[in-house]
Each structure stands twice: as structure tokens, then as C-alpha cells.
Structure 1
Amino acid sequence: MPLVANARMYSATPAVRDAWKVLLRWVLARAGLAWEVIDYDAPAPLSALWARDDLGLAMMCGLPFAQRGVRPTLVAAPIPSPARYGGRPVYFTDMVVRADSAFERLEDTFGGTVGYTLADSMSGGVAFRDHLAPYREREGTRLYARAVGNLIHARGVIEALAAGRIDVGPLDSYYHDLLRHDEPALAAQVRVVASTGAMPIPPLVATAALAPEDLQRLRQALADVAKAPDLKPVRERLLLAGFASADPAAYDALAAMARRPVPSFEEL
């Protein structure tokens, strides 16, 4: 069965998507693997992509990775290059408001409308809800008058904020940084008022069974990305320092967070 590769999860703009495709093709060529780099654009659901059994190298949200009974093979994890990541394969959830709003702190948004992407999304739902839960417990009453869900992705959050449909919403920090770098006019419509702590970043995984020698060559090719001179423009476009080996057990914390009994957004 021919295997495929894809980086839809962090294809924040068309130019970023194309850069990921260049990088994946370089990696596969260096590893000597004749796999196809496929397109899988929005609004096609990521859950359907991750359910495929022919993925040789694809980005997957850390939460479904951690929740699977039989986990995919964790190949490597990206290391974003901006300073806030500290050279680690981590990311955050940024809580954002409309740029011209009067809100200065997350607490200033209480009483308004909270937005989220999907309830089972790590950065767009679970991590945001978990961050809000202590405020809800401390206040002893609902934090928000209304919740708007199913915003799907970061662009949906930004569009809802710009239209005044919500007062605050979550963005995956790496996706947010890619937008700020490559599509600044869109990103400038919002600003950050709070962020979660660091979490293990969505990794590159294989749902297909890989031969040990193929996996070794693939991991070496990904490690070589950081120093490859011909990939410098691609790394700059992707705000990417390189790739790190990652411990699958690090993602257990995400599944544990999702299991915590915290209120739904409609109850926050």
C-alpha cells in the first residue's frame, strides 16, 4: 500500500501549506521513501485524515494521539523557532480578543461571549476550558453569558471576533505565529490577553506500520532539516527551528486534562 504525507494541521496560509509540502518532499527524498505528499484542505475534517491507515508522516493533534487505544508511531515533533518556545517542541493556547476592544485581561471578558473551535480540540477547546475552570470555581457562578462553538479553526475564531460574535476565543500559538508572520493583516485583527502553560506540540506520526529501517531514515532526515542550507527559506517561512525526538508518554498529560471533570463552555 503506498503511503502518504501531509501537514494540514499547520498549513496556516497557502504559502505556508506550499512550504510544508516542499519540506515533506525533501524529507521523503532524503529518506529514500517514494510516498506521496497529499493535499487535504479545509473544510475537510482533520478527524477523517487522522483515521486513515495509510499515513506515513502526518501532523496529528496531541489529544487524539494520546486518546487512541493503539497509538500511531510518533516519528518526531516540530520545534517552532520564535523565542517563546525556548527551542522545545511545545506550544500554547493563546486567548485572544478583538484588537480594538477595551479588554486588557482575560478576566475583563467575563460576562460576555466566549468562543471555541471544537469541544474536543486540544488548543481550541480542552486547554482553554481547563484554563478557565479555576476562575469558574473561584467565582462560584458562570463566567460567560453565552458560548459560541463550532468555529472549527483559528480563522473561524478570528472572523468571529472581528464580527463581534464573540468577545474572546482560543488560538493554537504556533498557528497564530504563522498567521502573524505570513498573513499579518488577518492576525492584526486580534491580540493576546492570556496564554496557557506549555504543552507538547502536535507531532508527526505514522498510522501505517513502518519498517524499522524506514522509520530510522525518516527520523534522521527530519533531524537533518535544521541544518540543511537549501531549506533555510522554508524554515524561515515555517518559523521552524527543526524537529525533535519526542516521548509518546509526554502526551498522556493531554488525555488526563481532557478527562478532568470541568464545566462545558455552555456552563462556564
Structure 2
Amino acid sequence: MEALILKAISYLSPNLFWFYREIAKSIVRRCDCAVKIVEANCDPLDDLLLQHGQVDIAFICGLPLLRHNRIAEQPMQILAAPVMLGDRYQNQPIYFADIVVHADSKFVRFEDLEGTRFCYNDLGSNSGYNLLRYRLLQHLQANSLDSLQYQFFKTVQQSGSHQQSLRWIADGIADCAAIDSVVMEAEIRQVPELALSLRVIDSIPSPMPPIAVGSHLDLDLIDQLRNVLLEPDQELQAAMTLAQVKHYAPMTASNYEPLAIAYDVPMQSGYEAIA
């Protein structure tokens, strides 16, 4: 009988793709199967493989996973999410949308960003767009401002990635962005001098991006895949330490309900685009 080949796709930042490859290697070692892992070249909601249930393992942001599962004939199952090292993560599977400005700027709080140049990685991003949009809507409503008419930012421009947004701020092309805290920490580990140009003025907590699997997989295999994460072997544990992952925590769809609220409220209010 031919060996099972699992198709894994990462829809997350490329600066941690090396780590997702290490997870794939651990699956090969422990689950008697092969894994072909690739980086996505499109938004997960535009990926025909995902739409047609042809993705076995997905490294994916919680928001597009939630939106995919709402319309999918076979919703993906959430295995687990990483708990990051560092006191700010409180030993919980959370991360932050860090609101980042240039280190030399005068901005010290969210309200100071009115009239500035905002950039974001992509429209489907939870940390880069969704959480900031919800935060901005709450700010406008609290100040009795019409969200459909009021322009908070001077300009809003897509950069294409969190890394590019950070460089735009460092280079003075943009004034601010909401950045995935884990991605920013990984980028600064790789480019330490970048930290000298950046400063975080606020943070919005969120459930951590999970690893999900296709519900078409055998239940025993799904349990094996979950155990790879919850009980890592020595090689994977070493990679986790390098990636600043303390351990993995089991997660379910209910853990991501806050993302649904942050997405649904602005959409239902007609506030689809940050302005």
C-alpha cells in the first residue's frame, strides 16, 4: 500500500516557515506518512485547494479559518495553537496586534494616530486589519463620530506583508501599522537593528493562529497529529525553543469567537474599510 502523503500549506508569515517545516518533519517521524509542505501564494479564502477540501494541514490565521469554516462543506478542525515564551503571553495561546510607530515619532497612544499614514499587510489579516478596524470603530462610536463619513487616517495603504509594513515605518513611508507580535519578534531576531526604529504604543490581544486539519482525515490520524504538537519529540522541542514557542495548547472553534465579533460588528455596521 502506498504511503499516505499529507498536503500542508502555510498561510502565515514566511519568516517562520522554517518552523512549520520542522513540524512537518516531526509528523513524518511519528505518523507513518509523508508531508508535502508549501507556502501559499494567495489568500486562504481564494485558495481553490482549501475551498475544495484538498488541504490536509493548514498553518492559518484564526480569522480566515473562521470565515472559511462558515461556508465550507467540510469545515477544518482546529488541532492546537502555540503558547509563546515571554511574560506578555501569560502562558496562554494568545498574541497581539501591536500598534507600531517610528521610535522617533511623537505618538504615544492610539488617539494620536488621527491624521497619520496607516499601512496594513492585507485586507484579510486579523492582526493587521481586522482587530484595528474593530478598535477604530469603537473609538469612533465612543466619540459620537459617524464611522461611514469620518476619515481618521490621512491615508491607508496596503504594504503586502507585516515585514514590509515594518520597513515602511522604519523608512518613513508610513506612520503606523498593526503588526502580529510574533511576526515582529521573529523579524527583529533576524534583523536586530530594526528594533531601533520601531516603538509599540498599544496592543490588542487575540487568540493565537492555530494549526488546523481537514475533517476528511481519519480520526485516529487527527489524534496522532494533535499529539505531535502536544507531546513534541526532542527534535521538535528544540525547534520550538528556537521559535520561542513554549508549548502547544489544544484549541476549539469556540476559542476564536472573539475574532468573529471583531469581524462581524464592523461588517454589520457597514464599516468594511478602514478610513
TM-score with structure 1 length normalisation?
Answer: 0.85
Which residue matches 2:122? 118
Counterpart pick for 2:14 among 6, 11, 14: 11
Q: Distance in 2 between matches of 1:150 and 1:182?
A: 23
Aligned-pair Cα RMSD in Å: 2.3
> Residues 96 and 192 of structure 1 are in contact (CA less than 8 Å); yes or no, is this contact kept in structure 2?
yes
- State the one-letter code of the partner of 2:220: E
Shift of 1:177: 1.9
Cα offset for 1:181? 2.6
Cα distance change of structure 1 residues 40 and 145 upon mapping to structure 2, 3 Å threshold? closer
Q: Do the aligned residues in 2 keep the contact of 1:147 with 1:266 (CA within 8 Å)?
A: no
Q: Match of 1:168?
A: 176
Letter in 2 for 1:4: K
Q: Which of 106, 111, 126 pairs up with 1:107? A: 111
How far off its partner does 1:140 sit? Answer: 4.2
Out of 31, 34, 43, the residue aligned to residue 46 of structure 1 is 43
CA pair 164-140 structure 1, distance change in 2 beyond 3 A: farther
Give secondary structure in 1 for the equivalent of 2:58.
strand
Quote how far apart the aligned CAs of 1:150 are: 2.1
1:182-235 deviation line (CA, Å, top 9, x unaligned): 332334432111001x2211111123611011111111111112xx33334312
Which of 210, 218, 243 is 2:217 aligned to? Answer: 210
Structure-2 residue corresponding to 1:20 = 20
The question of whether the paired residues in 2 share the 8 Å contact of 1:3 and 1:208 is answered with no
Distance 1:247 1:208, change over 3 A: closer
Shift of 1:148: 2.0
Q: Which residue of 2 aligns with 1:185?
A: 193
Shift of 1:162: 2.4
In the alignment, the residues of structure 2 paired with residue 223 and residue 118 of structure 1 have an alpha-carbon distance, to the nearest angstrom, of 31
Q: Cα distance, 1:170 vs. partner?
A: 0.6
- The alignment partner of 1:103 has SS state of coil
CA distance in 1, matches of 2:115, 2:93: 35
Instruction: List runs of 5+ in structure 1 lacking aligned partners.
Output: none
Q: Distance in 2 between matches of 1:209 and 1:5?
A: 14
2:245 aligns with: 240
Which has the higher mean CA deviation after the structures are superposed, 184-193 or 60-69? 184-193
Q: In 2, distance between residues paired with 1:250 and 1:229?
A: 29
Structure 2 SS opposite 1:244 = strand
Aligned partner of 2:234: which letter?
Answer: P
Map of 1:83 onto structure 2: 87
Q: C-alpha displacement at 1:169, in angstroms?
A: 0.6
Task: Tell me the residue number matched to 2:157.
Answer: 149
Structure-1 residue corresponding to 2:226: 219
